[in-house]
Structure 1
Amino acid sequence: MSLPDTAQRAPFLATLRRIGRLAWPYFQSEEKWKARGLLAAIVALNLGVVFMLVQINEWNRTFYDALQNKQLDAFWQQIGRFTWLALVYIVIAVYKFYLTQVLQLRWRSWLTDHYLARWLANKAFYRMELARFTGDAAQVPDNPDQRIQEDLNIFTDSTVTLGMGVFNAVVTLLSFVGILWTLSGPLSFHAPAFLGGGEWTIAGYMVWAAVLYCVVGSVIAHFIGRRQVGLNFRQQWLEANFRHHMVRIREYSEAIALDGGEAVERRQLDTRFTAVMGNYLRLIRSQKNLTWFNSFFGQAAIIFPMIVASPRYFSGAIQLGQLMQISSAFGQVQSSLGWLVDNYMGIAVWKATSDRLAGFEESLGQQSRPNEDFSATHEAGGIAASQLHVALPDGHTLLADGRLHVAPGETVLVTGPSGSGKSSLFRALSGIWPHARGQVNLPADTMFIPQRPYFPDGPLRDALAYPQAATHYSDEALQQALRNALLPQLATQLDRADAWGQKLSGGEQQRLSIARALLKRPAWILADEATSALDEAAEATLYARLVAQVRQAGGGIVSIAHRSTLGPFHRQRWTLTPTSDGGSASHHLDTATADAPDRTPGATPTMGTKA
């Protein structure tokens, strides 16, 4: 499996535009006034924090002047003033933190709801998985569960935190650069010969010193840490693949145990985990190098303004209070200008996460588009299709220009060799196959019974009634459906919660799926190898009940099967057979009357194909 790396290489400005497209919908949603109100409150509180820092900076000058002059009354007065300043600062800081977390919570909740709705709408979740395993995996986002659960959390947290960080840095810079300019005064020196000699004077030299210090630091930090964006992107991908493989082992635990595949799976897990650890080691080495620099940069910033401003202090031009105020103001300016240095690792994680979400967003947009070449209706009168074209994801044709009709009361058995397209035909009829075009009519009262049914974890009654709510049915109806599906031992366990997809055997799962059909009593049933795990006696009993039910409801049944034992339950047989069409794969669907003693004249499905 190759790393999908197209997103991580996007230019930074393009990434910012993509992030804007991810972020802006929330602030235009039905929650826009709450979102904008929270954002405005957080901005105001950030301004309040900067204002308090300016007041504390001014306090530094008065307090240290009092210390230098040994003014006891002024000393205690400034202690009292600092108490009030600190108290107000703490209140503002606490509410800034709280409202920031509330905004992140609301934003994440809205985004999660938004993406879950889009992922589950228009079969996008199915099409994305289908494209991933049958198409170009590098162009399809991996692990949508991680992107919705983890990446959205990181994105909202990082966007608010870093966004407010930038805003705070800009406001702090604008607030303190004037103070530092005024306090630092001019610096005069004799220029060396290569600069032309003479006397030079630099106004506000401490500001220029801070700018030079931070520009040099930012360039070095970017040079050291630039690999972290790609490494973080890859780390998230590798972690998700490692977790995904463990989920697959849980899902196929019985098959792996029967095959004795533990050693193979351990090697697969070891390979994935080794990749996780190898990339993580490279990431922490890069972070170590950046931490070395950040530590030196931060510690040097403490003493650097003292060194630069000390000549004026020792010459008597400024007092201790002004020196401390210069140091404090320089620290605020340096912190603002050095914001990139201090937050480079967080920016790397944020960019990698945003790139993953942007790729997910683009894929959702593509996979959720309706198939304009396919139209479906849900009118009564039977199953019908015209000009039906069914292809594989690689473009090879399975069925061309198909025409079919299944009248009420009819039963059809679809046969053919494995890979001939029987299941793809069913998917096309259901409207979920993206590689189909044509017109299909499927009565609204139609139910599909797959070979591998899905059961949600929880009470048995919910698994039986899925996807409807179990409250739609009485306990008597639920229990009778289980007994009719040859599962009497489960009839008394409706309220038992379990992982039914793993708890039940393959045959029991198929019988529970048939119990759904017997419970809901649809007029039309499309069954894809729905009894392949059952013995012949159970299969005969259940099919007799299904056929009787659909005939009583005035519908019909279309089945896919390889076993000949289902022949007597179907009046018609459609056989998909491979044909040759200039080297491309295509199939012909032959229709014939099956040997069935209860055949009713006048209800014959028809189908034609172009090979």
Structure 2
Amino acid sequence: MNARETSTARPGISQILMPYWQTPEKYLALLILAMIISINLGTAYISVEANRIAGKFTDALIGLDWEQIKPLFIFSFVLGLGAMMLRWVNVLSQGYLALRWRTWMTLHYIRRWTGTSAYYQIERDGALSNIDQRIADDVNELVSASLNFFLSIISVIISTVTYTALLWSVSGVLRFSFMGSDWAIPGYMVYALYIEYVLQVALSHWLGKALIRLNMNQQNAEGDFRFLGVQLRENAEQIAFYQGGAREGERLAQRFARVRDNALSVLLRGFKVSFGQSLFSHFLSPLPTLLALPLLLSGEITFGDMTRIQMAYGSLGATLSYFMQAYQSFTRWLALTKRLQDMEEALNKSEQSPSPIRITDHDGSDFSCQNLRLFTPAGRALTALDSWQVSPGERWMINGASGVGKSTLLRACAGLWQHGSGAIARPRRCRTLFLPQKSYLPTGTLKAALCYPGQARDFSDEACRQALIDSALPNMAEQLNDEDRWQQRLSGGEQQRVAIARTLLHRPDFIFLDEATSALDPETEQRIYQALINGLPNSAIISVAHRETLAAFHTHHLHLTPLTGSDNHHDRENQTADDAPRYQRTDSAFSERGLAWRGE
């Protein structure tokens, strides 16, 4: 297996859980962990002392020995108080450690999701569903469950060693005759308890092995149901225009039917596991008493010893039964790890998959494309550019038939499109801004939405007001501090004008507009373009547009035509520069009435 195959292989559980314990935070985390383990050791010691006191207390009660009862009672009370204090310190420490671990993992995944274009690539390729739920909910549940399992296993190990030694010491020796021979089994109750435990584990696994698959299905079904509800909220107006409420209700009901059916399967399977365990435990509950009776009746042990045996047997049995009781939680934990492994794998692929389109930054001032060919994800050829260069202050208009790849070209220039080949060179010191047809307006104050992706504190209120006025939004100039869900409140045309105001505010050197004024009437659209030209005379403007009225606002033209049938994803590397006339036509000459191409 080569390095690339190793790096993109499906991540193991350790790759999900261990990174936190390799950061500088590990020192405090390990200190808290050591304290929790010490508390477990202290609790085990208290349990042994409590067992000893219980035996003496029982004998003192039977013997009506008040002189023994009084100090034993006080000591028992103090032990109980100490155990309670240790338990609450343990809960607080474990909760704090889980919070620190979750905080680190959540921020780690947020950085990986949003720090690169992974969020776009994953959604574009449909590589993963509900990644937001995995970060918000699954990480929290996995951290809490993992820490709880680890500390519980440590506690179980400590308690198992402690109670096994205690039960061995108090259970005595079982003597009996069988097939003419005398037999003696020391610590026989320990053997009996471990045999009982093995049988319980086998029963639990046999009844509950399907829960792993069912729990993972439940997580996926819940996420899909929530996602459809979010879509309904985000597209409420469009759905209302279509009068599609009833249809959306049907879709939600269908998604919830999956949630309900799978939840019922989980419920029934969980009931089988719990009922089987309870029934098994009930039939074997008299076993410690029956096993201790021969020693009691022969006078080898007292009633106090009988009490100690029952307590030790019960404590060891409860300790070992943790694995059966946690079986359903463990299957859910496995489902969570599989979902986060899927997320880790998707993030790894988005980070490590190199794009055939090579993007470089240079010290010059021009934006250029060389031998650029664009394809759909399925490999269908779209269009090609053998050579295209944009200089500061130039204004290019891009058009072509629908589906030829105009928006795809802008995505490639932004570094968001990996399906193709060629080279794109971007000026290192120049700022670039891309305006899609539907711009993103985050919830919050209008000023914060206007200054996005920058900070509101980086721009003055006066500059923001002027940008809104220049973008034909004078009525919003005094609403900078109003908080709202602007994506839902504003119309499509208002959203596009806010995006133009954002451009005027940020003053980029290269502005790419992908039908960014399509929702405006022609008069307002021309006013907006004039505002861009006046406000940013030295900025290059690259527009994907269809209205010929915009031609007067551009100095250059790029017409995209589709690749021919022979130009496909497989033989594109064999194309030569001689093929250029088939792919594109560029010109800088415009007539007063519109655009004209030289040489036609």
Please give the TM-score of this superposition, normalised by the length of structure 1.
Answer: 0.90
Match of residue 159 from structure 2:
172
Where does structure 2 lack aligned partners over 5 or more consecutive residues? 1-8, 573-581
Match of 1:411 among 395, 417, 421: 395
**Quick one: distance in 2 between partners of 1:402 and 1:549?**
32
- The code of the aligned residue for 1:87 comes to L
Contact 1:301 1:334 in 2 (8 A): no
2:558 aligned with 1:592, yes or no?
no
2:337 aligned with 1:354, yes or no?
yes
Match of residue 565 from structure 1:
549
Change (3 A) 1:208 1:549: same
**Quick one: distance in 1 between partners of 2:374 and 2:130?**
28
Match of residue 455 from structure 1:
441
- Taking the TM superposition and a 5 Å limit, the aligned residue runs for 1:151-550 are 151-191=138-178, 198-300=181-283, 302-369=285-352, 371=354, 373=356, 374-377=358-361, 379-400=363-384, 402-443=386-427, 444-550=430-536
In the TM superposition, residue 400 of structure 1 has moved relative to its aligned partner by: 4.4
Contact 1:547 1:556 in 2 (8 A): no
User: SS of 1:590's equivalent?
Assistant: strand
In the TM superposition, residue 115 of structure 1 has moved relative to its aligned partner by: 0.8
Match of residue 7 from structure 1:
none
- The code of the aligned residue for 2:287 comes to F
Where does structure 1 lack aligned partners over 5 or more consecutive residues? 1-13, 133-139, 606-611
What whole-Å deviation, never above 9, does each CA across 1:376-418 have from its counterpart, x for those lacking one? 2154422111232322212223244632111233211111222
Contact 2:383 2:561 in 1 (8 A): no
2:62 aligned with 1:73, yes or no?
no
In the TM superposition, residue 151 of structure 1 has moved relative to its aligned partner by: 0.5
User: SS of 1:393's equivalent?
Assistant: coil
Which has the higher mean CA deviation after the structures are superposed, 578-587 or 41-50? 578-587
Contact 2:368 2:426 in 1 (8 A): yes
In the TM superposition, residue 202 of structure 1 has moved relative to its aligned partner by: 2.4
Match of residue 64 from structure 1:
58
Match of residue 564 from structure 2:
580
What whole-Å deviation, never above 9, does each CA across 1:498-557 have from its counterpart, x for those lacking one? 00000000000001101111222222211000111000000111112213334x22x321
**Quick one: distance in 1 between partners of 2:161 and 2:548?**
83
User: SS of 1:546's equivalent?
Assistant: helix
**Quick one: distance in 2 between partners of 1:146 and 1:298?**
38
What whole-Å deviation, never above 9, does each CA across 1:63-111 have from its counterpart, x for those lacking one? 1111222212211221011011111111111101110000011111111
Which has the higher mean CA deviation after the structures are superposed, 382-391 or 207-216? 382-391
2:70 aligned with 1:83, yes or no?
no
Change (3 A) 1:516 1:360: same
- Taking the TM superposition and a 5 Å limit, the aligned residue runs for 1:61-140 are 61-132=55-126, 140=127
What whole-Å deviation, never above 9, does each CA across 1:269-288 have from its counterpart, x for those lacking one? 00000110110011011111
- The code of the aligned residue for 1:459 comes to T
In the TM superposition, residue 255 of structure 1 has moved relative to its aligned partner by: 0.6
2:27 aligned with 1:33, yes or no?
yes
What whole-Å deviation, never above 9, does each CA across 1:560-607 have from its counterpart, x for those lacking one? 01222222222222222223233847982322345344999xxx99xx
User: SS of 1:578's equivalent?
Assistant: coil
Please give the TM-score of this superposition, normalised by the length of structure 2.
Answer: 0.91
User: SS of 1:452's equivalent?
Assistant: coil
Contact 2:435 2:512 in 1 (8 A): yes
In the TM superposition, residue 227 of structure 1 has moved relative to its aligned partner by: 1.2
Contact 1:460 1:493 in 2 (8 A): yes
Contact 2:355 2:418 in 1 (8 A): no
**Quick one: distance in 1 between partners of 2:594 and 2:562?**
28
User: SS of 1:389's equivalent?
Assistant: strand
**Quick one: distance in 2 between partners of 1:582 and 1:323?**
90
What whole-Å deviation, never above 9, does each CA across 1:1-44 have from its counterpart, x for those lacking one? xxxxxxxxxxxxx99x9332222111111211111111111111
Contact 1:460 1:496 in 2 (8 A): yes
- The code of the aligned residue for 1:506 comes to G
Percent identity of paired positions between Structure 1 and Structure 2: 34
User: SS of 1:486's equivalent?
Assistant: coil
- The code of the aligned residue for 2:585 comes to D
User: SS of 1:442's equivalent?
Assistant: strand
**Quick one: distance in 1 between partners of 2:493 and 2:36?**
58
What whole-Å deviation, never above 9, does each CA across 1:249-293 have from its counterpart, x for those lacking one? 111111100001111111110000011011001101111112212
RMSD: 2.3
Which has the higher mean CA deviation after the structures are superposed, 235-244 or 516-525? 516-525
Which has the higher mean CA deviation after the structures are superposed, 532-541 or 25-34? 25-34
**Quick one: distance in 1 between partners of 2:280 and 2:76?**
29
Contact 1:414 1:558 in 2 (8 A): yes
Change (3 A) 1:202 1:580: same
**Quick one: distance in 2 between partners of 1:41 and 1:472?**
46
Count of aligned pairs: 576
- The code of the aligned residue for 1:419 comes to G
User: SS of 2:115's equivalent?
Assistant: helix
